[in-house]
Structure 1
Amino acid sequence: MKNKTVIITGASTGIGKAIAAYFIERGSNVVMNSSNKENLQKTYEALGAPSNAAYVVGDISQPETGQKLVETALEKFTSIDVLINNAGIFSPKPFLEVEAEDLDLFWNVNLKGTYFTTQAVIPQMIQQEGGAIINIGTVLVDHAIDGFPATAPLTSKGAIHALTRQLAAEFGKKNIKVNTIAPGIIRSPLQGKMGIQDADSLAGLHLLNRIGEANEIAEAAYYLATSNFITGETINVAGGHTVGHAI
């Protein structure tokens, strides 16, 4: 991945920040995105304001943000080799309390953001005769939890899982690989935003009896970015969450 160009959405905190750091350290050219300008600037500076990185502030639910990411990648680094659709939002709410604006919010950011950004990069990947797209889903799509009502975000994430498979089919002959990473419970600011004070208390959801670290998602993303014979797959990085539970 040295000198390859990687676009990462939602790169200012948590998993996205860890993925950006992982690729930057290994010599990739990274274009980081977030809708939060202050957080994105702080992250860029915290990473050492590296010459092999740039950032673009913008809401990925708007198609123009994807176009700006493409323009920045090509202007600064001349190629687009990998897209990591990490940006997303997630919070629980009982099904009977979900309103139209809740569905709109999750579908706009999670699904439309992934959809529009992917639309923006694929023409360049076709021109380059190859590329890799990595979507971030969740193990909860295939492994629901009674005590965690989250139909609104989960339906949007489930759509991303389906989108992955269809894009893999449509663009496989163009040598564009499309896969999903489905994380389990990962240590990140997300837990605090959902009101979970002690993320480690959820360790029992995983057979390894611990929660995951953001760097472990970054490792999986790097693997999929470099793989030439994996497409249309959902890779669970979840410590055995979908297999069983530790009690």
Structure 2
Amino acid sequence: MRHGQRLAGKVAIVTGIGSGIGQTCALMFAREGACVVGCDIDAAAARATLAIAEQEGLALSGPQSCDLTDPQDVQGLIDFTLSRHAGFDILVNAAAFAAFAWIEEMDYQSQWRKTLTGELDIVFLLCQAAWPHLKQRGGGAIINFASANAWMALEGSPALAHCAGKGGVLAMTRQLALEGGPHGIRANTISPGLVETGATREHLRRDPAFLQAALGKQMLRQRIGQPEDIGWAAVYLASDESAWVTGADFNVDGGAKAG
């Protein structure tokens, strides 16, 4: 396990710490010296991640359960952070929800609207709540997650709402970079390809043809992504190493978009 000081002295808010990319980013940021405040809608999953951090002696705390579609809960996350730190430097919007269905089968409220709320609204709400504090801090780094699906469709994947939500995150982040520039606020996206997480593992097991279709899109076809592949890109974008990087999208996808 590698530990460093690339984020020493920084405070980061990371959402979706209960599993997958959010959990990996929270732990990696703390291992790189950041003080991390994390949350997840699943309180038990958040507590499990906090327990891992405690065992490693990492600076990771949080209000545990947080519904990021509720503006009051979002403000509560900001208030929790400010009650423990003078401010914060990094915002990682890793939490997301998506429903997958073909257009003829998709329910408007429970699938389409819920996906746009769970992928787009929660990014807007937390960025809006964090904005004045980042301005007061003199700048900071916002890391949002688009997707390879913001750029391309994948055969066999009923990802209509997901494509729309992540495409929205991609476009919104460019605008955040524009508005944040005068204040030293950098905003970038990472567009992961197919990553093995708790949310994807069972589907991949049940549908090997889907896995082969995803691998066929990639230039690196030996494996699909792991959360750590995404986490290292996030560490870079949160660090001073990327001080002149904003409005960018990082395709971490085994070469899928390039192919």
TM-score (norm 2): 0.89
Shift of 1:200: 5.8
Shift of 1:42: 1.0
State the partner residue of 2:137. Answer: 128
Q: Is the 8 A contact 1:7 1:84 kept in 2?
A: yes
State the partner residue of 1:53. Answer: 60
Q: Is the 8 A contact 2:99 2:112 kept in 1?
A: no
What residue identity is the alignment partner of 2:62? Y
Is residue 2:240 matched to residue 1:203?
Answer: no
What residue identity is the alignment partner of 1:217? I
Q: Secondary structure of 2:204's match?
A: coil
What residue identity is the alignment partner of 1:148? S
Q: Secondary structure of 2:54's match?
A: coil
Q: How far, CA to CA, are the matches of 1:105 and 1:90 in structure 2?
A: 7
Q: Secondary structure of 1:196's match?
A: helix
What residue identity is the alignment partner of 1:52? A
State the partner residue of 1:23. Answer: 29
Q: Secondary structure of 1:126's match?
A: helix
Instruction: Supply the RMSD in Å over aligned alpha carbons.
Output: 1.5
Shift of 1:36: 0.4
Q: How far, CA to CA, are the matches of 1:156 and 1:51 in structure 2?
A: 33
Shift of 1:137: 1.0
How do 1:1-247 and structure 2 match up within 5 A? 1-48=7-54, 50=57, 52-56=59-63, 57-101=65-109, 102-192=111-201, 195-197=203-205, 201=212, 202-209=214-221, 210-226=223-239, 227-244=242-259
Q: How far, CA to CA, are the matches of 2:74 and 2:244 in structure 1?
A: 26
Q: How far, CA to CA, are the matches of 2:169 and 2:75 in structure 1?
A: 20
- Indicate the percent of aligned positions where both proteins have the same amino acid: 30
Shift of 1:51: 5.8
Which consecutive residues of structure 1, in runs of 5 or more, have no partner in the other structure?
Answer: none
Q: Secondary structure of 1:187's match?
A: coil
Q: How far, CA to CA, are the matches of 2:9 and 2:58 in structure 1?
A: 12
Q: How far, CA to CA, are the matches of 1:203 and 1:26 in structure 2?
A: 31
What residue identity is the alignment partner of 1:3? G
Runs of 4+ deviating beyond 4 Å:
198-201
Shift of 1:169: 0.8
Q: How far, CA to CA, are the matches of 1:132 and 1:103 in structure 2?
A: 30
Which consecutive residues of structure 2, in runs of 5 or more, have no partner in the other structure?
Answer: 1-6
Q: How far, CA to CA, are the matches of 1:92 and 1:60 in structure 2?
A: 21
Report how many residues are paired: 243
Greater displacement, 213-222 / 84-93? 84-93
Q: CA offsets per residue over residues 18-64 of structure 1, 9 Å max, x none?
A: 11110111110001110001111011102226462111211111112
TM-score (norm 1): 0.93
Q: How far, CA to CA, are the matches of 2:58 and 2:195 in structure 1?
A: 29
